[in-house]
Structure formats: structure tokens, C-alpha cells
């Protein structure tokens, strides 16, 4: 089966004089293999006439055309297409009753399409460009599990509750106080219990447009589980939450699944491993097609996904396996001191921060962990020169490049215009160390305001790393990135720090990301929103052990992939590690 995919965002016919038509052998022989769409002025490729020679993909100057050959048996598994030469989705994951079904896959591979189909917001068309119908869906799934699912969904006998991915958009569409919004959502009569479980006591009487990203996420989760549904679909429930909150929310979701179906889309592998019962992997080509794997147990599924080869389906979807190696302590923190700072004190009307003095070394990556609202971002802003402390000094002037936690997306500039102001886009270093790892070439012509959350994050990181600096401060760089992008970003940051002999300071809540990237740790603690304090900078083992002890969670390494895994509370392994005081891979 042959797919011809045209990326409509990148296709620019006026600039290339339609090379795909000029060089297509089929067109030269008189066939309408490639024609011009009268409405858009852009090419359309006939998949029946296309021979798959690949000439158009090589001649397209904007890499907007993909010709993909797939197994013929997948033809009967096509669930939805968005139009001629547009994205295709193959297969669906089945949400098991009284279980958490997890979905893992790259951004742009079809996860949001699945969420819309299973919630009833999108009716699949099974490849028919005219659109599908509910009757066609029910007939298509006759004799399989999905027949009863969609029959109940379309008859109104199954209620799907959906928590959206981008919770930071909520203040644009919802107004008012948090309490009144949650009271409207409360269909079970357990509002006060949920407020306590999600620690919203200090948020409940504030306006929705005044609260932080982490608070928005917990409010969105509360509004979801307060409603009385039959299936709950949560899209990236861990974004903006700190480690303790992530594991707390995972426990709440597991409790919900004792009686209901739950489907979770999640990029934090530790959270997914902690809460899911089954997992469906997604593979394919970003923005071209996505294929849903058969279900597997969560541990096996994540390890297979990281390995990139599905033995039972005989499919290899990644060139190299992603491995987590236990690294020896970095020599960077034994090297030259880049910056010394004394004890720092910064106060606001309702918040006080105390930071222990320390030294930052050239070439190291310093990870920063701690609960939300305990001063991590404030400390980073002090280093960046955006905040001035009442007490504290730094003994050396350094050049700082800073990526903030919240990225503005309202600019009408293109990605090219933004990045060309901070770095030479034609340099070999930029091309090999920044552009290629972040796949920026296909984004250069796009406007900042048009980018998705993951695309915007990649551009913001590239902008930060593109500047010449001594210290690179990155606040939550893993937000909205998929698993591959997170690990690629970690590798890229480490490599750039080593080559430039610069220092990276990373604030993030993804334990796997911090474990992968950091040489040393700085741990924050305190009463969120009231006071915060940092401990002294420590080595990875000592720092992580102290942090995990604070959140009362133990970790082990998976023997097959080497990835960090959280032990289930009160499990034999959890109790054994706590008795020895070894919370970090005991």
C-alpha cells in the first residue's frame, strides 16, 4: 500500500515553481499523477498512479512530500484520514474496563486524533474522503469489542470525559473563580474531597486567570474527575506538575480506574509506568501516518518502545535503541569554577526564598529539583539578572542565556527571523549541533504563533542554546516534548556544554530527564507559595536520595533498559529500600 503525503504547512508552490510536477515521470507520460488543487494552488498526488519512484521527494526544496510504502494488510486497518495526501491513522487502542490504558508515541503521530475519536468528537471516515457516519463506524466494528463501545457512545449510553492537553489555554475560554467552576463540574458530590486530594485549598477562591500552570493542571484534572462519566481520557496530566504532584495524580487516576475505563496520553515514562495497566505504542512518520500497536503490559511496552523493535509484529521503527546508562560522576564538577555565589535571600509580599551559597563549574550540567512554588524559577531569574535579591552576591560576571518556563507564542515573526537574530544559521556548529537534533529546517518558514506546544518548546530551546553564553538557564525544557524529543534534547544540551565548556542549569520535573542529563543536583524544599529554601549543591546520588526521601518515593533501575522506575508504595522493594535509607536505585 502506497501513501503520498504532502505537508501543507511546508509546501510553498510559488517559491519552487512546482518541481514535483516538472520532474514526475508519470506527468511526463501524460498521466495526472500530480495535479494542482484549484482552491489552494498546491499539488495533489494520485496514489493510484504514483509508482513510488521518489523523484518528487528529492526535488521538493522544502521537504514537504513523503512517499511511504506500507504493508498491504494495513489497508483494512485505516481508521481515519484528514484528506487527500494528508495524515492517516491506522488502528485504535481499546480502553479496557476498570483499567488504565496508556498511549505512548511521538508528537504528531495521531494521539490527539485517537482522543477525539474515542470521545465522540470526531467520527472516523476509514479513508473515505467524503467523511464517515456513525452507522458506518458501528458496521465497520461489527463482531469486535469496539462495536459495543461505539454503539453505547453514539446512543448516549456512554459518557466520555476529556481533559485537554494544553491547560494553559483554559483562561482564554473559561472565566471566573476556581470554586464556582468546579462546583458546576461536580456531578458526584465529592468536591471537598477532591480539593484536598489535589491540594487546591489555596487555589480554590482565586480567579482562573491568576493561577500558575501547575494549579491550572490540577484544576483541569479536578474538573475532569468530578464529572460522572464512563470513560475518562486524560491528555498529558503531568505537565507543569512537580514530581510529588505527578505521583499523587497518578494514584488518583488509578483509584478512578477501579470502577471506570481510563485512557491516558503521557510522555513522562515514570508516570506512565506508575499508573498504567496496559500500553499501546504508536509508530509511523510524524505528520504523515500513525500506527497503533497491539496492547502489552506497561513494563514490556515501554521497554519495547525504547528498544524500537516489536518482535510480535516484526516491525523496527527506530534505528537505535534508547539506553539509560549509569554514568560515573562527571569530571566537570572537579574542574574550574565558573561562578561563586553567597547565600541569597529574596522576598516578595507573600513569599520568602533562601538559597545556600555554592560554586558552579565549567562544563557541568546542574539539575534543579523541588516542589512547585518553592523558588526554583526565582533563583534562575536571579542568575539571569531578571530579579535582584535583597541579600547575596556573585563574584564573577558571566554571560547568561535564559529560556523561561512560560514561552510567549503571540509573535508574528517566523522561526527563521527569530533564530537568525541570535545565531548564524549557516554555521556548521549550528547545523550539526542545534538544527539537526531539533529538526528545525522544516519549521523555519512557519510563524511563531502557528507552532504547536512541542514545536514552540524546541524553537525556544534552540534560541537559548544558539546564543554565545557562559551559562545556559533552561526552565522546564521537557514540557510538551515527547519521549524521543526529551532524550534528544538532553543529549544535545550535554554535548553543547562539553563542546563550549559552558554550564547548563536545568529546572525540570521529569525525573528521567534530570537523571539522564545532570552531573550534580540542587534540591529546593519548603512550603509552596509561602517560603522556599535550597540545599547545598550535591552529587547526583546524594542529591537525588535526599529529594526522593522528601517526596517519600523510591526508585529502581529496569534491568533491561536501565531506565528509572518508581516502586509502588509499600511494595516489597519500596519497603526494603526505605529500611536501608536508599531511595535512589537502592
Same fold, 75-316 and 331-541: yes
Please give the C-alpha separations between residue 559 and each of 428, 497, 585, in angstroms, as whole numbers: 39, 29, 11
What pLDDT digit, counting tens, does each position of 55-80 carry?
999 999 888 898 988 887 788 899 99
Whether the pLDDT of residue 564 is over 50: the answer is yes
Do the beta carbons of residue 166 and residue 238 sit within 8 Å? no
pLDDT class for 178, splitting at 50, 70, 90? very high
Report pLDDT for 465. Answer: 96
Do the beta carbons of residue 324 and residue 562 sit within 8 Å? yes
Q: How many CB atoms lie within 10 A of CB 24?
A: 23
> Pick from 586, 585, 555, 581: which is nearest to 569 by CA?
555
Q: Could you give the percent of the chain with pLDDT greater than 90?
A: 66
CATH fold, domain 331-541, is Rossmann fold (3.40.50)
Report pLDDT for 75. Answer: 82
Q: Mean pLDDT over residues 151-157, rounded? A: 96
Report pLDDT for 326. Answer: 62
Q: Mean pLDDT over residues 172-196, rounded? A: 94
What pLDDT digit, counting tens, does each position of 333-366 carry?
456 889 999 999 999 988 999 999 999 999 899 9
User: What would the CATH number be for the domain defined by 2-69?
Assistant: 3.30.70.20
Q: Mean pLDDT over residues 369-377, rounded? A: 90
Domain residues of the chain, as ranges?
2-69, 75-316, 331-541, 552-586
Strands, E assignment, 490-554: 503-507, 520-527, 531-534, 538-539
> When comparing pLDDT for 80 and 396, which is higher?
80
Q: Mean pLDDT over residues 472-482, rounded? A: 93
User: What would the CATH number be for the domain defined by 75-316?
Assistant: 3.40.50.300
Nearest-angstrom CA–CA distance, 572 and 568: 9
**pTM confidence score:** 0.87
Strands, E assignment, 422-519: 471-475, 503-507
**Max CA separation in the chain (angstroms):** 78
pLDDT class for 452, splitting at 50, 70, 90? confident
Amino acid at each position: 500500500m502506497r501513501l503520498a503525503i504532502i505537508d501543507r504547512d511546508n509546501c510553498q508552490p510559488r517559491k519552487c515553481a512546482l518541481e514535483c510536477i516538472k520532474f514526475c515521470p508519470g506527468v511526463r507520460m501524460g498521466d495526472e499523477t500530480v495535479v494542482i488543487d484549484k482552491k489552494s494552488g498546491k499539488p495533489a498526488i494520485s496514489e493510484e498512479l504514483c509508482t513510488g519512484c521518489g523523484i518528487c521527494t528529492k526535488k521538493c526544496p522544502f521537504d514537504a512530500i513523503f512517499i511511504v510504502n506500507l504493508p498491504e494488510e494495513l489497508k483494512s486497518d485505516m481508521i481515519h484520514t484528514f484528506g487527500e495526501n494528508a495524515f492517516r491513522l491506522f488502528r485504535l487502542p481499546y480502553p479496557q474496563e476498570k483499567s488504565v490504558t496508556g498511549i505512548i508515541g511521538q508528537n504528531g503521530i495521531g494521539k490527539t486524533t485517537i482522543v477525539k475519536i474515542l470521545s465522540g468528537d470526531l467520527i472516523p471516515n476509514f479513508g473515505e474522503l467524503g467523511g464517515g457516519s456513525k452507522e458506518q463506524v458501528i458496521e465497520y466494528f461489527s463482531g469486535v469489542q469496539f462495536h459495543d463501545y461505539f454503539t453505547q457512545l453514539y446512543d448516549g449510553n456512554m459518557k466520555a470525559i476529556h481533559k485537554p492537553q494544553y491547560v494553559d489555554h483554559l483562561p482564554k475560554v473559561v472565566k471566573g473563580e476556581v470554586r464556582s467552576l468546579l462546583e458546576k463540574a461536580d456531578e458526584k458530590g465529592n468536591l471537598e474531597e477532591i480539593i484536598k486530594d489535589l491540594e487546591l485549598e489555596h487555589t480554590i477562591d482565586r480567579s482562573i486567570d491568576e493561577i500558575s500552570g501547575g494549579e491550572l493542571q490540577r484544576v483541569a484534572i479536578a474538573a475532569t474527575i468530578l464529572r460522572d462519566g464512563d470513560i475518562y481520557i486524560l491528555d498529558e496530566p503531568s505537565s507543569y506538575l512537580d514530581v510529588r504532584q505527578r505521583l499523587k495524580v497518578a494514584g488518583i487516576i488509578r483509584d478512578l480506574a477501579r470502577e471506570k475505563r481510563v485512557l491516558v496520553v503521557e510522555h513522562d515514562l515514570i508516570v506512565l509506568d506508575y499508573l498504567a495497566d496496559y500500553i499501546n505504542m504508536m509508530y509511523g512518520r510524524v505528520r504523515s501516518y500513525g500506527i497503533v500497536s497491539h496492547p502489552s503490559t506497561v513494563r514490556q511496552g515501554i521497554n519495547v518502545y525504547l528498544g524500537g523493535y516489536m518482535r510480535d509484529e516484526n516491525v523496527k521503527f527506530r534505528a537505535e535503541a534508547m539506553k539509560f546508562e549509569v554514568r560515573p560522576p562527571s569530571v566537570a564538577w572537579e574542574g574550574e569554577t565558573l561562578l561563586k555565589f553567597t547565600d541569597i535571600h529574596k522576598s516578595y509580599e507573600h513569599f520568602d526564598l533562601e538559597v545556600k551559597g555554592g560554586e558552579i563549574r565549567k562544563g557541568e550540567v546542574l539539575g534543579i529539583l523541588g516542589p512547585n512554588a518553592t523558588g526554583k524559577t526565582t533563583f534562575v531569574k536571579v542568575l539571569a539578572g531578571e530579579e535582584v535579591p535583597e541579600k547575596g552576591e556573585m563574584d564573577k560576571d558571566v554571560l547568561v542565556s535564559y529560556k523561561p518556563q512560560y514561552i510567549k507564542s503571540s509573535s508574528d515573526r517566523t522561526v527563521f527571523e527569530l533564530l537568525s537574530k541570535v545565531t548564524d544559521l549557516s554555521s556548521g556548529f549550528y547545523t550539526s549541533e542545534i538544527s539537526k537534533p531539533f529538526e528545525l529546517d522544516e519549521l523555519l518558514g512557519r510563524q511563531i504563533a502557528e507552532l504547536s506546544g512541542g514545536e514552540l518548546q524546541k524553537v525556544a530551546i534552540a534560541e537559548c542554546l544558539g546564543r554565545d553564553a557562559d551559562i545556559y538557564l533552561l526552565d522546564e525544557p521537557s514540557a510538551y516534548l515527547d519521549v524521543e524529543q526529551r532524550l534528544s534534547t538532553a543529549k544535545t544540551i550535554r554535548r553543547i556544554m562539553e563542546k563550549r565548556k559552558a554550564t547548563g542549569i536545568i529546572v525540570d520535573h521529569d525525573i528521567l530527564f534530570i537523571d539522564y542529563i545532570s552531573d550534580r543536583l540542587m534540591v529546593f524544599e519548603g512550603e509552596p507559595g509561602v517560603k522556599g529554601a535550597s540545599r547545598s549543591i550535591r552529587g547526583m546520588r546524594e542529591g537525588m536520595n535526599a529529594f526522593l526521601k522528601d517526596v517519600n518515593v523510591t526508585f529502581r533501575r529496569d534491568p533491561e533498559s536501565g531506565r528509572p522506575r518508581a516502586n509502588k508504595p509499600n511494595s516489597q522493594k519500596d519497603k526494603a529500600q526505605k529500611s536501608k535509607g536508599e531511595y535512589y536505585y537502592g
